[in-house]
Structure 1
Amino acid sequence: MSRSKRNFLSRNKYKLNGLVLILPFIFLYQSLNPVFPSVWQKQIIGSFEIAPMPYNLKQPYLHGGHYTKDFFLIFSKGKVADIRQAYLNIGEQALPLVELQKHDEGILHGSQHGQEVHGIAPETLKPEHKVWLTIEDWQGDVWVTSWDLPKELLAD
């Protein structure tokens, strides 16, 4: 009779199967309990009071050929329905509204409770960059405001 060779896989296959069964529960727990960075300081722009929050502290990522950084904007005053169009970009200055209208990057979208945006960003974030928000209402009034980038978001 031949004796079967006991290799690593045959000795530990039950342990590996158990690990494969446990991993989905770990990922489920992580997806049900996300951890977000803190909300930034509120600013008043026109009739709105807005506080942005990045979804993570990572550098911008490539999305559709453009670098973007995801943000959630919380509106504590003002009606989102009063906004005709709004854009968010990261850089040394706010991009002109005429240039922002040419593409769909950086446009705010969501509900009355908050707006999400894939903000236009450079490849790496630097101390001289700011987060710029440009809002136009239905009367044609345009407002621009900015937030300084926190140290946690800057490239090392």
Structure 2
Amino acid sequence: MARRKDTFWHRYKYKLNGLVLILPFWFLYQQLTPTFPAVWGSQKAGPYEITVVPSDMEPPYAHHGDYVKDFTLTFAAGKISSIRQGYVSIGPQPMPLVKLQQGETGILHGNRHSQHVHAIAPEHIARGDRLWLRIQDWQGEEHVVSWPMPHVLVSKR
């Protein structure tokens, strides 16, 4: 008969294994009950009325060599199917459509209920920066609208 040493592992291995089995349920609960920041308000751009909600109040993050910030846009008025292309960027001025079309970041995507976007952002958001939405419909008309950036997101640098 083997003698068992009374070590930390032998005393607590079943409790540690139980903890490993319980932790996924905690993380599942966190994923199923997200909290979102407050809505930034609605703006009218041509026939569209758009409401913006940021995914979080964190600074922009690096994504494939660009800095982006995630937003959800809901359309209260206007048909999403009439939008040919839509782009979102952060800066003091809206980015020109020619420059926005060169990459895949900043493009609106989603369904008729809400649109998601990885908005093109600078590494550090400055005091005068705004969130710019540029929409082009199938007739070639462009609509540009902006929201001011909250002070929480403005970089202290």
- For Structure 1 versus Structure 2, the TM-score category normalised by the shorter chain is over 0.9
Q: What secondary structure, in the 3-state scheme, does the structure 2 residue paired with 1:36 have? A: coil
Coordinate RMSD, CA, aligned: 1.5
Q: Provide the rounded CA distance (Å) in 1 between the counterparts of 2:8 and 2:131.
A: 53
Q: Provide the rounded CA distance (Å) in 2 between the counterparts of 1:117 and 1:77.
A: 19
Q: Provide the rounded CA distance (Å) in 2 between the counterparts of 1:106 and 1:35.
A: 23
TM-score (normalised: structure 2): 0.93
Q: What secondary structure, in the 3-state scheme, does the structure 2 residue paired with 1:151 have? A: coil
Identity of aligned residues (%): 53
| Alignment correspondent of 1:46 | 46
Range moving further from structure 2, 75-84 or 57-66: 57-66
* Pairs aligned (count): 156
Offset of 1:155 from its aligned partner?
2.9
Deviation sequence 1:25-73 (CA, Å, 0-9, x none)? 1011111111111111100001000011111111111111111111100
Gaps of 5+ in 1: none
Deviation sequence 1:123-155 (CA, Å, 0-9, x none)? 122222110001111111111111011123233
| Alignment correspondent of 1:99 | 99
Letter in 1 for 2:110: G
Q: Provide the rounded CA distance (Å) in 2 between the counterparts of 1:40 and 1:131.
A: 10
| Alignment correspondent of 1:60 | 60
| Alignment correspondent of 1:31 | 31
TM-score (normalised: structure 1): 0.93
| Alignment correspondent of 2:18 | 18
Q: Provide the rounded CA distance (Å) in 1 between the counterparts of 2:140 and 2:37.
A: 34
Q: Provide the rounded CA distance (Å) in 1 between the counterparts of 2:79 and 2:2.
A: 79
| Alignment correspondent of 1:124 | 124
Q: Provide the rounded CA distance (Å) in 1 between the counterparts of 2:61 and 2:117.
A: 13
Range moving further from structure 2, 106-115 or 3-12: 3-12
Deviation sequence 1:58-106 (CA, Å, 0-9, x none)? 1111111111111100100000011111100011111001111111110
Q: Provide the rounded CA distance (Å) in 2 between the counterparts of 1:28 and 1:2.
A: 41
Question: Runs (4+) of structure 1 moved beyond 3 Å?
Answer: 1-5
Range moving further from structure 2, 144-153 or 74-83: 144-153
| Alignment correspondent of 1:75 | 75
Letter in 2 for 1:67: Y
Gaps of 5+ in 2: none
Q: Provide the rounded CA distance (Å) in 2 between the counterparts of 1:35 and 1:154.
A: 21
Q: Provide the rounded CA distance (Å) in 1 between the counterparts of 2:64 and 2:7.
A: 46
